[in-house]
A = this chain, B = another copy of it.
Amino acid sequence: MIKPDIVFVANLAGVSPATVSRVMNHPDLVHPATRKKVELAIEKSGYIRNRAAQAMHGKRSATIGLVVPTVANTIFAEVVQAFNDTVSEQGFTLLLASHGYDLDAEYRLVRKLLEHRVDALAVVGLDHSAGTFRLIAEQRVPLLALWNYLPDSALPCIGVDNREAGRMAAEHLIALGHRRIGMVFPTTFDNDRARDRKTAATAVFRAAGIVLQDRWQVEVPYSIAQAKAACLELLAGKDRPSALLCANDVIAQGAIYAAARLGIAIPASLSVIGIGDFAGSAQMEPALTTVRIPAQKLGATAGREIITMIGKSDPNYMVHSRIELELIMRSSTAIAVELSESIV
């Protein structure tokens, strides 16, 4: 038995292929009775339309490409999920690619996605190789930058202002009276999220006259294990900071576990703040104080936005959408030890 195509269905229904096509794409153009017949024939033959053939016609491929650094870390998983749910509801399918924080790999992936003629492309962050940008511009595919918001970015973007996130976290620690501050961040080389957070936080501290001790600044990759290991070292000696500003909740989680292992009481003798508010951060003991990035909302909004972008024919359509951050005070931060002692 051969796989039924549109001609097969047409014969079965006693109509022309054109009509079958119309039933699927412009049902209102065909007479209800005929439509019924055709729908029956589709049902009966087990016909599944061929999107590839449809896409060939310059029509929508009904796919959206999403390129993320990784999907394994909770951070992006939630956004991917929400994004997927949203576009899926509108009939789009997600083509997923992940490059493991390697911008050259990203170029190749974007190329591959363009071969599949995705209707639009979403990427994480605003840092991308020139080649990637050229490629996308040439193909005139709508491109949306996720995760990061910059009011004046050349790219349409929708996300949070990472500078503000850094600022909020820093200000919270300052407000609590901390001056001996450590920062735990991933490499900021080609990661604009981390970079923005770090520079903003640093600026706030500097403005407050706080000197950031080099020995309390560490660089760790994106993993609980490595964050914990690094913090174990950082917190081992007597001479340790009173507060840790972590680039994100994953790292903060590592920091908290390190403290637990060392018997350092949080928040009594060490404050830890993260950024992100990932699943589980609220449930930790102690519950993590953090700057919430509403992943759900971000992904969903991005999904909606990219679909409007596909709708517009204007290739220069711009959008800069800022998702609000929120400081979530929980139990991992408290008034600085020195200060609290002097108060007592």
Contact = CB atoms under 8 A, between A and B. Distances in A.
Given A63-B95, A257-B283, A78 B72 contact: yes
Interface residues of A, number: 60
Interface stretch (A14-22, A45-53, A173-181, A233-241): A45-53
Contact of A279 (B95, B140, B223, B257): B223
A197 interface: no
B49 A115 contact: yes
A84 B111 CA distance: 16
Contacts of A77: 71-74, 77
Interface in A27-76: 46, 48-53, 55-56, 61-63, 70-74
Given A77-B74, A283-B257, A93 B98 contact: no
Contacts of A74: 74, 77
Given A52-B55, A56-B56, A72 B63 contact: no
A225 B116 contact: no
A138 interface: yes
A116 B65 CA distance: 14
A63 B112 CA distance: 11
A342 interface: no
A253 interface: yes
B116 A63 contact: yes
Given A71-B71, A88-B97, A94-B97, A261 B280 contact: no
A123 interface: no
B78 A115 contact: no
Interface string A129-148: 00000010011100000000
Contacts of A52: 51-53, 55-56, 61, 116-117
Contact of A260 (B112, B117, B224, B285): B285
Chain B CB within 10 A, most for which of A52, A94, A96, A253: A52
B279 A117 contact: no
Nearest to A77: B77
B72 A224 contact: no
Nearest to A85: B98
B284 A257 contact: yes
Contacts of A51: 52, 115-117
A93 B81 contact: no
A64 B284 CA distance: 37
Interface of A: 3, 46, 48-53, 55-56, 61-63, 70-74, 77-78, 80-81, 84-85, 88, 91, 93-98, 100, 109, 111-117, 135, 138-140, 223-225, 228, 253-254, 257, 260-261, 279-280, 282-285
List the 9 closest pairs (A to B, CB-CB), nearest first.
Answer: A260-B285, A52-B55, A72-B81, A77-B77, A52-B52, A96-B96, A224-B280, A51-B115, A224-B283
12 contacts: A48-B111, A50-B115, A50-B117, A51-B116, A70-B81, A71-B71, A72-B78, A84-B96, A88-B98, A93-B95, A93-B112, A93-B116
Given A50-B56, A94-B97, A261-B285, 9 more contacts: A48-B139, A50-B115, A52-B56, A62-B116, A63-B116, A72-B81, A72-B279, A84-B98, A96-B96
